Structure 1
Amino acid sequence: MELALYLAMGAGAGVLAGLLGVGGGIVIVPLLLLVFPTLPWGGAQGASAAHLAHLALGTSLASIVFTSISSVRAHHLRGAVDWALVRRMAPGLLLGTLAGTVVASRLSTPALKAVFVAFSLYVGVQMLLNARPKASRELPGPAGLHAAGGAIGVFSSLVGIGGGSVAVPFMSWCSVPIHRAIATSAALGFPIALAGSAGYILNGLHAAQQGQVLPPFSLGYVYLPALLGLAGASVLTAPLGAKLAHALPVARLKQVFALLLLGLGLRMLWSLLA
């Protein structure tokens, strides 16, 4: 049953990564935070209960490594990825994401949950109202793109996403067409996920060396059984999402997804208050 849940999450995350450019992590993280407390090591008396959010974030980013490869390949075959922009933003993304994992490793699970709740509610409202920033400027120069990449990387690592929920609005604001922004965001998700998963692995290994107890079958803050199911399914479904992005009314689908996201955010908020 546990593996079936991870496979279902991965399938949905793969479609979302290709379809909406959101990386899937925005759904994976809250779902993992629902599943992990039901496992022996994650319950109220579990030895690893204090690290639930860190494990959810690290596992989400590790799964996006595989999802982004599959998704970006599908977008690349359609000629929709702006590789020049990816190359200019990648250094900032890598450094910012690594820095974000260091910050996250020093925050408690409730604090990380609160950050994610605020983010998911904000993105949900933004998607529901279709409140994209107006294309009012051009892309900045190298220094500006490095800074933007760094900010996107820090934030993405704190909420366990591939950066699409931040990168797509940024590119739309800079007059990048929406389908090109979604495709390029999928490519930007790879350096974010690579640096983020590496950072959570290293910080988790350091925590284990300091005497912190992590669950069996984990590599740092990456829970390998969940990664196996998430990655295995998402790699298969990400190309489908990329194909649908060029054929379906993405704006209407985003509104449906926004309702789901708001529901998950409110559910997490209730658990925090309780």
Structure 2
Amino acid sequence: MEFSYIVSGFAVGVLVGLTGVGGGSLMTPLLTLLFGVSPSVAVGTDLAFASITKGAGTLAHRFKGNVHWDIVKKLCLGALPAALVATLALKYFGGLDKEINQIIRYTIACSVLLTVVALMFRGRMLHWIKHHPEKQLQGRKLTIATIASGAVLGALVTVSSIGAGAIGATLLVMMYPRLSPAEIAGTDIAYAVPLTAIAAVGHWWLGSINWGLLLMLLIGSVPGITLGSLCARAIPEKVLRALLATTLTGVAVKLLST
């Protein structure tokens, strides 16, 4: 079983490093469906996993010059307070209750479906925005939209551990269409580090982190995301996103049917 955790961590790490997406969207459903981990523990463990794994990915993307720190700061201004509020809400309503676990499961499924939509239509959205420059946000409006997007993602990630990847990347594409795919991936991974760290601390407070499982996942994921981040320009993005979208659709259907 330990070897399966390591292999799963490595595979997810490579995918996150290459595209900036797929971490929570794959790891949380993988833990609940394949390994039988309860939804709340899967979310908490995945958040701790993501904060460390994406920290390694940020270093690699920074080495390649792919991180826009001004955008990271704006996203964090919205995401970090939202993560704290969501954690307090989970504590108040009972983060480990059976009913809350079921809500978390459905939240994961809905987040996965949103991720699939983001993956499928990201190219079309980018094409539309580039051909309608008058619709692009500028100045203060762009700053407000970035902070608001961070707040929405902060709440979503804290509850389900999903959203910082594909949904976050798609929002970045819409707001900053001139960024390259590698810059989108690097910036998306960088802002997710403090967000997932704060959310993970909240879940540690709630008692929903499996530390032994986390260690096994990290043994595989840290070298995986480092490798993927350094090779982000080498593999066709369309191939990866099509495969990821297909996989996530199956995951969402399975979560909703159980």
Structure 2 length-normalised TM:
0.86
Q: Is residue 152 of structure 1 aligned with residue 139 of structure 2?
A: no
Q: Is residue 112 of structure 1 aligned with residue 98 of structure 2?
A: no
Distance 2:26 2:87 in 1: 19
Letter in 2 for 1:243: L
The structural deviation recorded for 1:16 is 1.7
Determine the structure 2 residue equivalent to 1:27.
26
Distance 1:132 1:116 in 2: 25
Determine the structure 2 residue equivalent to 1:266.
253
Change (3 A) 1:196 1:176: farther
Q: Is residue 230 of structure 1 aligned with residue 217 of structure 2?
A: yes
SS where residue 80 of structure 1 aligns? coil
Query: Pick from 89, 100, 104: which aligns with 2:86?
Result: 100
Distance 1:167 1:31 in 2: 21
The structural deviation recorded for 1:121 is 2.3
Q: Deviations over 1:54-109 (max 9, x none)?
A: 11111000001111111111111111110111122222211112222333453611
Q: Is residue 187 of structure 1 aligned with residue 190 of structure 2?
A: yes
Are 2:23 and 2:165, in contact at CA under 8 Å, matched by a contact in 1? no
Superposed, 1:166-185 pairs within 5 Å as 166-174=167-175, 175-177=177-179, 178-185=181-188
Unaligned runs of 5+ in 2: 130-134
SS where residue 118 of structure 1 aligns? helix
Change (3 A) 1:122 1:86: closer
SS where residue 235 of structure 2 aligns? coil
- Which one has the bigger helix percentage? 2
SS where residue 163 of structure 1 aligns? coil
Distance 1:169 1:113 in 2: 23
Q: Which has the higher contact order (CA 8 A, sep 6+)?
A: 2
Query: Structure 1 vs Structure 2: percent identity of aligned residues?
Result: 26
Determine the structure 2 residue equivalent to 1:91.
77
Q: Deviations over 1:135-169 (max 9, x none)?
A: 34136454443222111111111221361222211
Unaligned runs of 5+ in 1: 43-51, 205-219
Distance 2:243 2:183 in 1: 22
The structural deviation recorded for 1:246 is 1.1
SS where residue 138 of structure 1 aligns? coil
The structural deviation recorded for 1:196 is 0.7
SS where residue 161 of structure 1 aligns? coil
Are 1:121 and 1:262, in contact at CA under 8 Å, matched by a contact in 2? yes
Structure 1 length-normalised TM:
0.81
Change (3 A) 1:85 1:227: same
Determine the structure 2 residue equivalent to 1:165.
166
The structural deviation recorded for 1:129 is 5.1
Report how many residues are paired: 241
Distance 2:195 2:163 in 1: 6
SS where residue 125 of structure 2 aligns? coil
Determine the structure 2 residue equivalent to 1:63.
49
Distance 1:128 1:148 in 2: 20
